[in-house]
Structure 1
Amino acid sequence: MNKEINNMTYREATKELEEILRAIENDSVDVDELTLKVQRSSQLIKLCKEKLRSAELAIDQVFNEENCEQPQKSAKPEAQSNGKLF
């Protein structure tokens, strides 16, 4: 798979990374091709990290929206005054 990196999904990128890893592990990549495979792997890893960060931000945003926020539970006043939890 040699799809344009900007149009790849996370799943496609990880699948290609797995294919590259298998090829390297099986010694089916010659030295001349190895450099290209390593460079492609680097691009794919960067893409995956960006997609994960983007997903994390989107998920955080959903949970931080006003209608999804949970009120923070406060400790009982007596627990705070005497230093005991129970």
Structure 2
Amino acid sequence: MSDLKYNEAIKRLETILADLEEGKKSVDELSELVKEASELVKACRNKLKTTEDDIRKAFEEA
């Protein structure tokens, strides 16, 4: 998942959310979707943290 772009991860999360809201998935499918969503959220948080750190560093060096 680390090679997934932030915008791609967000779009996939939106798709998963739509699937969950639809309510037509089996328990097994729901479990897998929730696991995937969790990993995507972690990846997005990491990307945002890295970007924030990069910005902070750039301003400190300027």
TM-score of Structure 1 vs Structure 2, range by shorter chain: over 0.9
1:1-86 to 2 correspondence within 5 Å? 5-65=1-61, 68=62
With the length of structure 2 as denominator, give the TM-score of the two structures. Answer: 0.93
**How large is the Cα RMSD of the aligned pairs?**
0.9
Provide, for residues 58-83 of structure 1, a one-character-per-residue CA deviation record: whole Å limited to 9, x for no partner. 00011101xx3xxxxxxxxxxxxxxx
Q: When you count helix as a share of all residues, which structure comes out higher?
A: 2
Question: Percent identity between the aligned chains?
Answer: 39
- Residues of 2 paired with 1:54 and 1:23: CA distance? 30
When the two structures are aligned, how many residues end up with a matched partner?
62
Give how far 1:32 is off. 1.5
Q: Unaligned regions of 5+ residues in structure 1, if any? A: 69-86
Q: Which has the larger radius of gyration?
A: 1
Provide, for residues 7-50 of structure 1, a one-character-per-residue CA deviation record: whole Å limited to 9, x for no partner. 10100111100000001001132212000000000100000000
- Residues of 2 paired with 1:48 and 1:12: CA distance? 10
Q: Unaligned regions of 5+ residues in structure 2, if any? A: none
